[in-house]
Amino acid sequence: MKTLLATLLATAAGATFAAAPTAALNHDPATYRNVSQKAATEYKAATAKCDTRSGNDKDVCMAEAKAARARTESDAIAKYNNSEKGRASARNKVAEADYEVAKAKCDAKSGADKDSCMDNAKSVRTAALADAKAGREGSGAVGASGSAGLVASTDTKDPAKAAAVAKCEQVAGNANTGCLVDSKGNVTTMAGRAENATERAADNTRAATATAVDKTKAVASTVAEKTKEVASTVVDKTKAVASTVAQKTENAAENVGDKSRQAAANAKENTKDAAATAAVKTDNATDRAADKTRDAGRTTAVAASDTALTTKVKANLLAQPELKSLGIHVETEKGVVMLSGFVESKAEADKAVKAAKETEGVHSVKSAIKVK
């Protein structure tokens, strides 16, 4: 006989699944106590057998022993100590015990199979608790865990349950495939629930990946823009300084030339010797002025070059991934780059030195970086 692998919610056919509440057969506290004591004894014997097992096998065994005791006590209440409150409480205990059995069996699975198993177990528990709260009784057919009100086999004479089984087979194309049937007759297969869960997880992963990529691009773009702005500012300042120095040099040369010509004219009017002496002095002064001008020009060029090189090194540090370069100070003197400041690890310090050495125009790198 084919077995329905999953279960059908007891609400599949609404009230047609429920029979009238079981009438009290009698009120026999003594017999009820005897049955309860027998159930307790059988429970101890069952748990003793479970002690010989281990791992998940033992967990399933213990859960099944508790479920068997709960069902025995529920039957005892229905037969010998019948009351609406007592029946509801007993069925709740049976539903929870069966749920523990299902969870223990699901723990032996993994991945999508485990997720599908847990979804099915929760659906069965929800249906059983709803039956208990509404005072509904199953027709006697039980599910894989023993819960009343659940279809466990395709062989059923109950018209409503037979119709639910037929819907499962029609939707899934196989009577062995379990499904859930809600109170409106809508059918959902376990495979469909698992596929939907997998698709939702995939959609969430793709959305998270796209967001991360967009954020990374935005950060990279911002860093690039800031680097360009800093480089442009430094270049402008360097040009301005060079222009000012050049202008001052020209003015100084003109002043020296004017004074030299005046001195030469005065010396010529006095004596030729004095003129010759003045000419010699003038030539010497001109040479010294020219030397100073050249030295000033070279110093200015070196300073401008060092400033630009410092900017390039900072930009290269900013471009290094996972390097917190804001804590690193950069200075350059005649092509020699000096690094200082604090970083989180030696690896970051080494990465900073490597990035500086790879910068075009750097002659050498000296590091005074300290690890926090």
| Whole-number pLDDT of residue 165 | 64
120 touches 109 (CB < 8 A): no
Strand partners for 179: 189
Q: Each residue of 237-266: pLDDT tens digit?
A: 877 777 786 688 777 767 767 776 776 667
The amino acid at 25:
L
**CATH 3.30.1340.30 placement within the chain:** 300-371
| Whole-number pLDDT of residue 343 | 87
Give this prediction's pTM: 0.37
Query: For residues 135 and 76, what is the distance between their CA atoms, to the nearest angstrom?
Result: 17
| Whole-number pLDDT of residue 339 | 92
CATH T-level topology, domain 300-371: Histidine-containing Protein; Chain: A; (3.30.1340)
Strand partners for 153: 3
pLDDT tens for the 372 residues of the chain, in order: 343 444 444 333 333 333 334 444 457 788 888 888 888 999 999 999 999 999 999 999 999 999 998 888 888 887 777 777 877 888 888 999 999 999 999 999 999 999 988 988 898 889 888 887 877 654 333 333 343 345 544 555 566 666 666 666 666 565 555 566 555 556 666 555 555 556 666 777 777 777 877 877 777 777 677 777 876 777 788 777 777 866 887 777 677 677 767 766 675 677 566 556 656 676 776 677 667 767 665 665 666 788 999 999 989 888 887 777 677 889 999 889 999 998 888 888 898 898 889 898 899 999 998 988
Quote the Cα angle for 340-341-347, to 5°.
90
124 touches 98 (CB < 8 A): yes
Helical axes 272-318 vs 346-357, angle rounded to 10°: 130
| Whole-number pLDDT of residue 232 | 75
The 3-state secondary structure of 156-224 reads CCCHHHHHHHHHHHHHHCCCCCCEEECCCCCEEEHHHHHHHHHHHHHHHHHHHHHHHHHHHHHHHHHHH
The amino acid at 46:
A
